[in-house]
């Protein structure tokens, strides 16, 4: 049976418990659910921040995430997967995004969630800008730089002979 | 051939606009060539594309490499490495 896939890109907050419940409702085949929630921290590189603004590429963001979820469902025996990513201005403590994967056993659920997070960080068209909490000249805004660690994390999932999937 | 260009994050800020329509000049066949041509369009473009190696591109909402051919493209986007998640 094909996995039940839900992908949402939205400004509004989401409810992890409700999304997780929706993922497993009506199925007695699910034996494992892994959820990951990315949360806006109160600091960036040790400096306090007032807010985080996420810019995204409408249309491509959804398509890119859907493509990766479909690939995860091909690589692991998933019963369902949900990815929600927010955009707009978020303050520390707010949820940024979530991934939930459901499978019969935990190994597939963990692996698929890990794979999805690594790919979303390097391939989903979102950009974070931090608004510093302090500063003499008003609130300085700085674009977050991509981390080499994230590229390395995504590269470990690339299949031999499919260099198009590797992070550049 | 008219193409829509879209810019995101600091590429958008440096260029000074989120999108524009351009007529693709003859002889520009790849994403890399387009970036070089754009860099020559003025100070703001030169600043945005001063280091093309770190800029990512998408053709019709799919990631592409600098050597990708742009024939037939309707929308081309330029942006920094992604930092979502």
What is the CATH number for B7?
3.10.20.30
Count: domains in chain B: 1
Query: What's chain A's Rg over C-alpha atoms?
Result: 17
| Contacting B residues, span 44-73, partner chain A, CB-CB under 8 Å | 56, 58, 61-63, 65
What percentage of chain B has pLDDT greater than the value 70?
100
Whether residue A34 lies inside any domain: the answer is yes
The whole-number pLDDT of residue A74 equals 96
The whole-number pLDDT of residue A159 equals 77
Residues in chain B: 85
The whole-number pLDDT of residue A35 equals 98
Whether residue B59 lies inside any domain: the answer is yes
Q: Do A127 and B8 touch (CB under 8 A)?
A: yes
Instruction: Give mean pLDDT, residues A54-60.
Output: 98
Count: domains in chain A: 1
The whole-number pLDDT of residue A153 equals 86
Whether residue A164 lies inside any domain: the answer is no
For residue B75, what is the nearest residue in chain A, using CA coordinates? A60
> Which residues lie closer than 8 Å to B69 by C-beta, 6 or more apart?
B29, B30
The whole-number pLDDT of residue A167 equals 41
Whether residue B84 lies inside any domain: the answer is no
Does the complex come out with an ipTM higher than 0.85?
A: yes
Residues from chain A that touch B80, judged by Cβ atoms under 8 A, are 127, 143, 146
Closest CA to A158 of A81, A66, A83, A68: A68
The whole-number pLDDT of residue A166 equals 40
Summarize pLDDT for A108-140 with one digit per residue, the tens: 999 999 999 999 999 999 999 999 987 656 678
Q: Could you list the residue range(s) of the whole structural domain that residue A138 is in?
A: 4-158
Name the DSSP class of B53: G
Instruction: Give mean pLDDT, residues A66-87.
Output: 97
Helix (H/G/I), strand (E/B), else coil: B71: coil
Quickly state the pLDDT bin for A149 (edges 50, 70, 90).
Answer: confident
Whether residue B85 lies inside any domain: the answer is no
- The enclosing domain of A116 has a CATH number of 3.90.1170.40
C-alpha to C-alpha distance for A80 and A78, rounded to whole angstroms:
5
Closest CA to B84 of A86, A90, A8: A86
Residue A159 Cα, gap to closest chain B Cα (Å): 18
Whether residue A82 lies inside any domain: the answer is yes
C-alpha to C-alpha distance for A49 and A167, rounded to whole angstroms:
29
Instruction: Give mean pLDDT, residues A19-29.
Output: 92
Q: Could you list the residue range(s) of the whole structural domain that residue B24 is in?
A: 2-79
Residues from chain B that touch A57, judged by Cβ atoms under 8 A, are 6, 8, 58, 61, 77, 79
| Average of per-residue pLDDT values in chain A | 91
B79 touches chain A (CB under 8 A): yes
Closest CA to A34 of A16, A46, A53: A16
Summarize pLDDT for B1-57 with one digit per residue, the tens: 789 999 999 999 999 999 999 999 999 999 999 999 999 999 999 999 999 999 999
> Which residues lie closer than 8 Å to A25 by C-beta, 6 or more apart?
none
Q: Please determine, for residue A161, whether its predicted confidence score (pLDDT) is greater than 60.
A: no
Of B6, B10, B84, the CB nearest to A85: B84
Quickly state the pLDDT bin for A147 (edges 50, 70, 90).
Answer: confident
Query: What's chain B's Rg over C-alpha atoms?
Result: 12
The whole-number pLDDT of residue A138 equals 66
């Amino acid at each position: 049976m094909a996995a039940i896939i839900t992908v949402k890109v939205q400004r509004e907050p989401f409810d992890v418990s409700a999304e997780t419940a929706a993922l497993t409702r009506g199925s007695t085949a699910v034996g494992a659910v892994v959820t990951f929630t990315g949360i806006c921290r109160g600091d960036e590189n040790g400096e306090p921040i007032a807010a985080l603004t996420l810019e995204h590429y409408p249309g491509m963001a959804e398509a890119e995430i859907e493509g990766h979820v479909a690939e995860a469902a091909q690589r692991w025996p998933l019963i369902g997967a949900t990815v929600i990513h927010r955009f707009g201005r978020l303050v520390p403590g707010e949820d940024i995004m979530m991934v939930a994967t459901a499978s019969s056993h935990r190994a597939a659920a963990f692996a698929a969630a890990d794979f999805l997070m690594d790919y979303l960080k390097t391939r989903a068209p979102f950009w974070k800008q931090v608004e510093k909490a302090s500063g003499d000249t008003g609130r300085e805004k700085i674009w977050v730089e991509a981390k080499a660690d994230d590229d390395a994390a995504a590269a470990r999932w690339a299949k031999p002979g499919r260099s198009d999937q590797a992070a550049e | 051939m008219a193409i829509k260009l879209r810019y995101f994050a600091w590429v958008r800020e440096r260029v000074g606009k989120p999108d524009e329509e351009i007529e693709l000049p003859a002889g520009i066949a790849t994403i890399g060539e387009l970036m070089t041509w754009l860099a020559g369009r003025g100070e703001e473009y030169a600043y945005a594309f001063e280091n093309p190696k770190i800029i990512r591109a998408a053709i019709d909402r799919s990631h592409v490499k600098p050597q990708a051919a742009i024939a037939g493209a309707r929308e081309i986007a330029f942006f920094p490495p992604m930092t979502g998640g």
